[in-house]
Structure 1
């Protein structure tokens, strides 16, 4: 009701004309609801893409990349994709070259795959080492395909392999952001033990490669331990493992099989090192799945081999590195067969659905190998491996000994920053 000022009255004769009625208030039509499961498609404009570029610009290493004589501009790296399948899942290996500033060993990049989405990126550590000369760096990534973007990447490669030319490797564009993290190289460490589980080898492999290449370092003992599920997983980094085998001490006239199942090995006193004469290098592979994956190629060792504490703790008497004669035709590639050829410093231990005792591995390395100097343990892999390694390293540190000047009790642990 409208209020009149005090003292005013409605003028006489100001009534509504007869026959006039108030019009009803109009109502809005009921709002229609969208069927469940339907969403409005996003509208991508040049502004959206420009915003993405502006966000990434501070670390964008693709701007200004030269492609022949085509001038400057944005150029994504073209990566070759390989897919490895086993009963435990799918692994994707990526290889490409990109002209950029070298990164530091231990750093990682965020990778975006434009063929899938320009809005997602994930952190990955290069399994390759940055160059020391003026050449374009080569990137290698070992990625486990899961349900998200990595799973789509593996599916994209598999689809292309099934429908395209099998003689031509599948390639896809990759955009990098980074590098992030810090260097894990310590040239002052006298002893280096690298332990990786599965795709964690991407973090530890470059550290081992760099230590072997640095002939002026103080490193005396280097050991690489890789825990995998199936022996065929060696194919993920077969070229790199073959290169590492060339750094092992050379054993003249080392014969793996004389035809009667016996193994002949030359005297270890005749071994000559291909690395620095003062550096000892060893590789130990643990295969945790069943014996069906080990019968392709026998891995015999000499009868003088004494099981280490870690082998005893794993209770591997029925599935040791001394394999029986294969029961069916070998199916491994020539690279894996070369890797599995016997060598006293390249050992493969088969654990029948068991896991190695990490604390025993650390203890064996320090007790039987380390004579003096600091020890650095580098690790990457599942969270449970990181927990076990932290406890093992903590148990081997001797604060009192370090105060007395005994560096042998100084054990440092470096874990992959991406994994927490």
Structure 2
């Protein structure tokens, strides 16, 4: 390799006297032999050996990721239910028993929240994974470096000395690790990530790791910058000429640009930054700044483009896959469509006014497409408002193909932005709006609906959309006498039942066959002469009683023949205990009443409710009892924490 092809970052090497150039992956070539003073040559030995080990450690890091994913695929294959139960041998039964017991044990200790003040509403499992990754990075940030200090003379300047230390090699090491983590960060943020295909975990599962991995990269980059500033602006002499020459080099200019962009990304991703800019603005800026950051990193140190190029590829693949998904959903060449057969979907709007907590709107539409899986969600874009925004919503109906079309129904709590524009259309007398769908995304929860599995569906407010498809799907299946099903729904007013009245009517008619009990808790509405407990809680097996209650209180019971629990007036106000259902009590009663079989709890609602449920479910699991054959102590929690409440 010619000297002209060397990177400008050639350290203190005498390139003209070099007999050969020794290549080092991800770094400047080294001049052999070293013709500097003994201290400088020893320092260069440490620099290059530390870098080579650092590249080896990044290889180990990515090999570890690959091994984990490979093992995950193998275990996931063995966890799939067998198609031919008659072929199951006793050894496989024993393996399943061990696997279930281990899952219950891990659920007991890893499901609850961990250090909520620092990590928010995040499970201990997520924090454990983050801790393992951070520990790995901490160890490999320091090992394999010889720590020493060398005082070397400055050529041509008597009495002037440079202080060379291991700060430089250490700063290079954490810089390399920051580069190596960049493609992983992009993968964790991708909606179309192949991690979902491998692990089966939905993309939102990786959001926590993406956010904290970004914090780690910011810390690494900051320490890398501080380390080299100390070396070049303080330890190397004479100053300020050495510092000025260093900071004006092209690679350093790009390094400063990259650090400024990364600082902006960090500040804008904090809760303070998101509130300041608004979530949609933050999201768009995050995309743009991330790509600019990768480009600036390329300009700073192109030798490590092996980490930057995959990052760009993953990013463009994610955007391309989103575009293709949307195009497929809306490609209807047989209909009168616009350009290239693309057509938005016309959705009927139903508005439910609520001045106190914000209106709710319901959208009903049909589209020619494949049915989605229960538990998945779509991103909805309203082109009459803006084509640059889309929001995730879960269809509340069961996926069915009828005459080639699939019906979508959604409930949206009106806030600011696009949902407000849709609500304004309804207020102005417009009965329909155009919708562009992207999806479906998320994890299928159909596997949790085995015939021997008892089910509790718990929802708060518009979270009912996550659990209704589960119940509607079960209503279409043959009934199972071995299964018990409960629905617990907390709403603010009895009138909120109108959001999903037709779906609740289906469940009401099928609940005897399903062994389903429906309980609705009203948290913001005190009882009154027209909404007393007696008038809104008809008996499960008494249609005559329900009809009498409906005549007494048409504003309440006509909404749904369900069990209502309305807080009583106490001194003109409501007690805290009367506002929300006691989930611990409800779940314990459910588990005490079931005879056999595991239990799955499907839940969606406010973050506080989900945190409580994680604690409750963890306390209900018992690996020792499951090992002894008591499956009722195998309690799983499947929840949707995607929505903002």
**TM-score interval, normalised by the smaller of the two chains:** 0.5 to 0.7
What secondary structure does 1:338 align onto? helix
1:404 equivalent in structure 2? 628
1:35 equivalent in structure 2? none
Identify the match of residue 366 of structure 1 among 572, 582, 591: 591
2: distance between equivalents of 1:120 and 1:89? 21
1:182 equivalent in structure 2? 443
- The answer to whether residue 569 in structure 2 is matched with residue 338 in structure 1 is no
> How do 1:13-412 residues align onto structure 2 when only pairs under 5 Å count?
56-60=322-326, 61-66=328-333, 68=335, 73-86=341-354, 87-131=356-400, 135-159=404-428, 161=429, 170-185=431-446, 186-188=448-450, 189-215=452-478, 220-249=483-512, 275=513, 279-291=514-526, 295-296=530-531, 298-300=535-537, 332=555, 337-341=557-561, 346-352=562-568, 353=574, 354-368=579-593, 370-412=594-636
2: distance between equivalents of 1:118 and 1:83? 22
What secondary structure does 1:215 align onto? coil
Q: Which moved more, 1:288-297 or 1:57-66?
A: 288-297
1: distance between equivalents of 2:642 and 2:422? 21
Q: Tell whether the 8 Å contact from 2:501 to 2:560 is kept in structure 1 after alignment.
A: no
Q: Tell whether the 8 Å contact from 1:193 to 1:377 is kept in structure 2 after alignment.
A: yes
1: distance between equivalents of 2:470 and 2:394? 12
2: distance between equivalents of 1:57 and 1:199? 28
Q: Tell whether the 8 Å contact from 1:62 to 1:75 is kept in structure 2 after alignment.
A: no
Q: Tell whether the 8 Å contact from 2:330 to 2:342 is kept in structure 1 after alignment.
A: yes
Q: Deviations 1:163-200 (Å, cap 9, x if unpaired)?
A: x6xxxxx1111000010001112232520000000000
| Superposition deviation, residue 89 in structure 1 | 1.8
Please identify which structure carries the higher strand content. 1
2: distance between equivalents of 1:378 and 1:295? 33
1:29 equivalent in structure 2? none
Number of aligned residue pairs: give it. 307
What secondary structure does 2:518 align onto? strand
| Superposition deviation, residue 148 in structure 1 | 2.2
Q: Deviations 1:242-265 (Å, cap 9, x if unpaired)?
A: 11110133xxxxxxxxxxxxxxxx
2:639 equivalent in structure 1? 415
What secondary structure does 1:93 align onto? strand
Q: Tell whether the 8 Å contact from 1:296 to 1:331 is kept in structure 2 after alignment.
A: no
| Structure 2: 5+ residue stretches without partners | 1-315, 569-573
2: distance between equivalents of 1:151 and 1:219? 45
2: distance between equivalents of 1:293 and 1:219? 40
What secondary structure does 1:204 align onto? helix
Q: Which moved more, 1:171-180 or 1:356-365?
A: 356-365
2: distance between equivalents of 1:300 and 1:177? 41
Q: Deviations 1:37-65 (Å, cap 9, x if unpaired)?
A: xxxxxxxxxxxxxx9x9674221134421
| Superposition deviation, residue 299 in structure 1 | 2.2
| Superposition deviation, residue 152 in structure 1 | 2.1
What secondary structure does 2:383 align onto? coil
TM-score, normalised with respect to structure 1: 0.66
CA separation of 1:292 and 1:218: change in aligned 2, threshold 3 A:
closer
Cα-Cα RMSD:
3.2
2: distance between equivalents of 1:349 and 1:283? 11
